[in-house]
């Protein structure tokens, strides 16, 4: 004879005694989330850095949750397509988003009609890791340090350009922050991705470029490009010998990219706590850390509260940079 689950019997008892219904959040805890596979939406096409890192995270996250975490790529419109899909999904914890600052702080700064709100539409679960950005130069350019770079460009205002992997990307925001801090004038040359920008940098079509450390490491070994400085406050574990702009007196230059796991707004508190705990354990796993580092992501877990704080702190900074440099996607 089939017996009703304990939680169902408790709910019936409460109702019969006039105590009202058992809260849904309590029911979620009793039924043991997750009871089925979880979908992890990545708002980029397959094969990119976020996709690669997402698959590494999904594999371990699934083990921590006891259910498969299935990747679903929904790229397009600078993460807007995938982010909007998750924002409109049921807030039950079974549809999650893994995305960069592009979704949460860059798009709101450059797009006036977003179909989602970076704060009101999502429930951050935590930061999975960070990707440092770096100023690179063609090997023939006669600069080695930040001071030499500043002196070289300042001697011919407006003559030189720097490339990035696209308009409105974190690379452009880092570049414009760098120019503002140093007082330099350079032309931004946006490319459709890191690969064409790196090709032109190595070929000498552009003298400088800002890219991710993960994209730079293989090319630095070729000797056709060189590293000048990181745009982050701290040095990168992937390039520990490369200094930061802050070390040269430009503390304002502190910009990187990061990966955040988020759920639709309204996810039950116990489900959120379960996901947060699973993400922390995932990023702490030694094998996962090694795989993420190999893929160019520096594992660095931050909890949900710290993630919310990061968004709130970075949003006005990005909006100020966009307004000052006239960066827009509209």
Q: Say if residues 118 and 311 touch (Cβ distance below 8 Å).
A: yes
**pLDDT over 70 (residue 13):** no
pTM to 2 decimals?
0.84
Q: Which of 77 and 274 is assigned the larger pLDDT? A: 274
CA 208 to chain centre: 24
**pLDDT over 60 (residue 20):** no
Using DSSP bridges, classify how beta strands 208-212 and 298-302 pair: parallel, antiparallel or unpaired: unpaired
Q: Where in the chain is the domain with CATH 3.40.190.10?
A: 132-248
> 190: which 2 tokens?
């946006």
pLDDT value for 26: 37
Instruction: For 301-310, give one letter per residue: b (16+ CB within 10 A) or e.
Output: bbbbeebeeb
Q: Say if residues 265 and 104 touch (Cβ distance below 8 Å).
A: no
Average pLDDT over residues 242-246: 97
pLDDT value for 222: 86
What does the mean pLDDT of the chain come to?
Answer: 90
36-130+257-325 fold: D-Maltodextrin-Binding Protein; domain 2 (3.40.190)
Return d(Cα 251, Cα 233) in angstroms, integer: 7
> Which of 142, 146, 141 has its CA nearest to residue 253?
146
Q: Which of 25 and 94 is assigned the larger pLDDT? A: 94
- Could you identify the residue written with the tokens 């988020």? 262
Q: Where in the chain is the domain with CATH 3.40.190.150?
A: 36-130+257-325
Percent of the chain whose predicted confidence (pLDDT) is above 70: 91
> 2: which 2 tokens?
């089939």
Return d(Cα 254, Cα 65) in angstroms, integer: 35
132-248 fold: D-Maltodextrin-Binding Protein; domain 2 (3.40.190)
Return d(Cα 249, Cα 252) in angstroms, integer: 9
259 φ/ψ angles, rounded to the nearest 5 degrees: -115, 125
Chain segment 27-73, per-residue pLDDT in tens = 344 458 999 999 999 998 888 788 989 999 999 999 999 999 999 99
138 φ/ψ angles, rounded to the nearest 5 degrees: -60, 145
């Amino acid at each position: 004879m089939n017996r009703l689950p304990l939680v169902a019997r408790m709910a019936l008892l409460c109702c019969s005694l006039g105590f009202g219904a058992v809260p849904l959040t309590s029911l979620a805890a009793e039924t043991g989330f997750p009871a089925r596979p979880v979908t992890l939406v990545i708002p980029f096409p397959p094969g990119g850095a976020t996709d690669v890192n997402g698959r590494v995270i999904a594999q371990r996250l699934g083990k921590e949750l006891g259910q498969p975490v299935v990747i679903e790529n929904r790229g397009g419109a600078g993460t807007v397509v995938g982010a909007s899909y998750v924002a409109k999904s049921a807030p039950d914890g079974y549809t999650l988003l893994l995305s960069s600052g592009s979704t949460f702080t860059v798009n709101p700064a450059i797009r006036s009609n977003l179909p989602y709100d970076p704060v009101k539409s999502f429930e951050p679960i935590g930061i999975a890791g960070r990707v440092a950005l770096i100023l690179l130069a063609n090997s023939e350019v006669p600069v080695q340090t930040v001071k030499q770079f500043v002196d070289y460009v300042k001697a011919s205002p407006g003559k030189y350009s720097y490339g990035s992997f696209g308009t409105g990307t974190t690379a452009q925001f880092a570049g414009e922050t760098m120019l503002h801090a140093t007082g330099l004038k350079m032309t931004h040359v946006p490319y459709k991705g890191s690969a064409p920008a790196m090709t032109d940098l190595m070929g000498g079509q552009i003298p400088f470029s800002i890219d991710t450390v993960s994209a730079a490491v293989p090319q630095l070994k070729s000797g056709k490009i060189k590293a000048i400085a990181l745009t982050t406050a701290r040095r990168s574990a992937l390039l520990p010998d490369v200094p930061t702009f802050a070390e040269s007196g430009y503390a304002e230059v502190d910009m990187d990219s990061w990966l955040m796991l988020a759920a639709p707004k309204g996810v039950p508190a116990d489900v959120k706590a379960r996901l947060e705990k699973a993400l922390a354990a995932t990023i702490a796993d030694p094998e996962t850390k090694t795989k993420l580092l190999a893929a160019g992501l520096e594992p660095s877990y931050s909890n949900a509260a710290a993630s919310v704080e990061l968004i709130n702190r970075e949003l006005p900074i990005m909006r100020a940079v966009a307004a000052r440099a006239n960066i827009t996607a509209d």
